[in-house]
Copies of this chain bind each other. A is one copy, B any other.
Amino acid sequence: MAKDKSPRRPRAETPKGFRDYFGADVTERKAMLDSIAEVYHRYGFDPLETSAVETVEALGKFLPDVDRPNEGVFGWQDEDGDWLALRYDLTAPLARVAAQFRNDLPSPYRRYAMGPVWRNEKPGPGRFRQFYQCDADTVGAASVAADAEICAMLSDALEVVGIPRGDYLVRVNNRKVLNGVMEVAGVLDPSDPSKFEAERGIVLRAIDKLDRLGEAGVRALLGAGRRDESGDVTKGAGLSDEQAEVVMGFMAAKRGTGAETVARLRDLVGGSVLGGEGVQELETIAELLDRQGYGPDRIEIDPSVVRGLGYYTGPVFEAELTFEILDEKGRKRQFGSVAGGGRYDDLVKRFTGQAVPATGVSIGVDRLLAALRAKGRAGQKSVGPVVVTVMDRDRMGDYMAMVGELRSAGIRAELYLGNPKNFGNQLKYADNRHSPVAVIQGTDEAGRGVVVLKDLVLGAKVAEEASLEEWKSRPAQVEVARADLVAAVKRMLDQ
């Protein structure tokens, strides 16, 4: 026979690194975001939804001499030759909005934003090119009261989605303190801040890896460098042992109480003006939080938090879940960070030339949802709709009337809309839908003015475990008058 000459069919696939979300994946994330939005709203934050597309110029990730900007973002050229791209976070668009609407927005401007962002990065297991972020920021507030507020709000948000007190900790640090320590260690010269910048970058990244590399690994990175298991060498910051000791002392500065930690940090930053300012800010934040009742059981000062991003200029914070889960290899480990943020005072300046103080937090939506599932607080199998089956194809009107009555009573219900010939397929469908009840009415039942209700939840249980007595005492199938359909289904659902 001749081969089919029709053109090749398109592949039914998402692009690499992208995925679809079905049913409960969508509703559980939505419920979580709704709860968080309620907290943000109570704190006076207003929603903002920027467009997914920005000019590459506004995103500010690229050098003007790069021909095609594809480093990290999905970009394309529009009809006028301008480069456009999908936003890679929610902070860059906020900076653009704060500049564009600076005469119309209240100042300070508190806003929250929730939505997908896109990254043109190598996808991997659990790493997708489109994912949700959930941010809250205050633009135009220089006071660290704004940072304290963000920390309190983050704590409230975690509790409202179902992370109980004791299962999380918001940890606060300050980049100025770290800079003060760098001054003491001799890797920051206040009269020429650009000197030793590369070294400080290595120190920052080394500290950020304390969890993963341990003390010895960080020490190696602060000094000559580090060779990992595969033999790869990471260049170190070239600090002397004495200098490294100062930095390590900073990370270990945490004491039993906030006041003790602050005192220890004050010692460490010595005569550094910037460092002293940072310590003072931490002290103020702790005081302000204490006055609102947020003690160290919820928010604590922890000098080991640095956050990777280069643009932070003052307080930085991180929310960590403190309970243990089993990782993919069955080993116990702490769940870790689910949110982070800090103060960034230079992002709006790119557009306007004027410094605008800003601070904010970003919650890792997918990680937080995974945490809730790990704790059994999400991911339950949801109950499906009542399914009205079709016994007689020419009585569709009768069945549709039944499903209409159920829906009008607020009961989630469906009419079976596939080919009704094979009744077994209809029950398989109901099973696939996690339906609690199937409604059945053949010609005989219709003649007698009754319907049969099949309790599928009980049916499944009986099939698995019930004794004959139980089976008899509560049959999984009952016949009720047609007029009692809604009431009888309600009773069955409430059981």
The count of residues in chain A whose C-beta lies closer than 8 Å to any C-beta of chain B is 101
Q: Given A11-B57, A15-B51, A21-B48, are A145 and B288 neighbors across the interface (CB < 8 Å)?
A: no
How would residues 115 to 156 of chain A score, 1 for a CB under 8 Å from any chain B CB and 0 otherwise?
010100000000001100000001011110110110010000
The stretch of A93-101, A371-379, A448-456 that contacts the partner chain: A93-101
Report how many copies the assembly holds: 2
How would residues 322 to 356 of chain A score, 1 for a CB under 8 Å from any chain B CB and 0 otherwise?
00000000000000000000000000001111000
- Cβ–Cβ contact A353 & B74, under 8 A: no
Q: Which B residues touch A401, using CB under 8 A?
A: 291-292
Instruction: Let me know if A318 is at the binding interface, CB within 8 A.
Output: no
For A75, A140, A141, A407, the residue with the greatest tally of chain B CB atoms inside 10 Å of its CB is A407
Chain A's interface: helix, strand, loop or mixed, by majority? mixed
Q: Given A22-B48, A412-B42, are A60 and B417 neighbors across the interface (CB < 8 Å)?
A: no
A111 to chain B, nearest CB (A): 8
- Cβ–Cβ contact A15 & B55, under 8 A: yes
Could you say which of B58, B292, B403, B433 contacts A13, with CB atoms under 8 Å apart? B58
A19 to chain B, nearest CB (A): 6
How would residues 14 to 32 of chain A score, 1 for a CB under 8 Å from any chain B CB and 0 otherwise?
1110111111011100100
The stretch of A76-84, A176-184, A200-208, A485-493 that contacts the partner chain: A76-84
Q: Given A20-B50, A397-B287, are A414 and B43 neighbors across the interface (CB < 8 Å)?
A: yes
Q: Given A398-B291, A400-B292, are A385 and B26 neighbors across the interface (CB < 8 Å)?
A: no
Tell me, in angstroms, the Cα distance from A145 to B397 when the chains sit together. Answer: 9
For A23, A51, A82, A130, the residue with the greatest tally of chain B CB atoms inside 10 Å of its CB is A51
A167 to chain B, nearest CB (A): 20
Q: Which B residues touch A108, using CB under 8 A?
A: 417-418
Could you say which of B25, B54, B145, B353 contacts A9, with CB atoms under 8 Å apart? B353
A244 to chain B, nearest CB (A): 37
Could you say which of B9, B27, B58, B293 contacts A11, with CB atoms under 8 Å apart? B58
Q: Which residue of B lies closest to A75 (CB)?
A: B76
- Cβ–Cβ contact B148 & A400, under 8 A: yes
Tell me, in angstroms, the Cα distance from A58 to B8 when the chains sit together. Answer: 12
Q: Which B residues touch A291, using CB under 8 A?
A: 397-398, 400-401, 404
Tell me, in angstroms, the Cα distance from A386 to B420 when the chains sit together. Answer: 59
Q: Given A141-B417, A415-B149, are A26 and B49 neighbors across the interface (CB < 8 Å)?
A: yes
Q: Given A76-B75, A287-B397, are A14 and B51 neighbors across the interface (CB < 8 Å)?
A: yes
- Cβ–Cβ contact B432 & A145, under 8 A: no
Instruction: Let me know if A106 is at the binding interface, CB within 8 A.
Output: yes
- Cβ–Cβ contact A27 & B47, under 8 A: yes
- Cβ–Cβ contact A350 & B400, under 8 A: no
Q: Which residue of B lies closest to A102 (CB)?
A: B12
Q: Which residue of B lies closest to A84 (CB)?
A: B15
Q: Identify 16 residue pairs between A and B in the complex whose beta-carbon atoms are under 8 Å apart, listed by A's number.
A: A9-B352, A12-B351, A15-B82, A16-B78, A20-B51, A21-B49, A22-B46, A23-B48, A30-B47, A41-B412, A143-B396, A148-B400, A149-B415, A287-B397, A291-B404, A292-B404
With A9-B353, A22-B46 known, 11 other A-B pairs at CB within 8 A are: A12-B97, A13-B55, A25-B49, A41-B412, A44-B384, A44-B385, A52-B52, A53-B118, A106-B429, A141-B417, A145-B417
Spell out A's residues near B (CB within 8 Å): 9-16, 18-23, 25-27, 30, 41-44, 46-55, 57-58, 60, 70, 74-76, 78-80, 82, 84, 86, 96-97, 99-101, 106-108, 110, 116, 118, 129-130, 138, 140-143, 145-146, 148-149, 152, 284, 287-288, 290-293, 350-353, 384-385, 396-398, 400-401, 403-404, 407, 410-415, 417-419, 429, 432-433
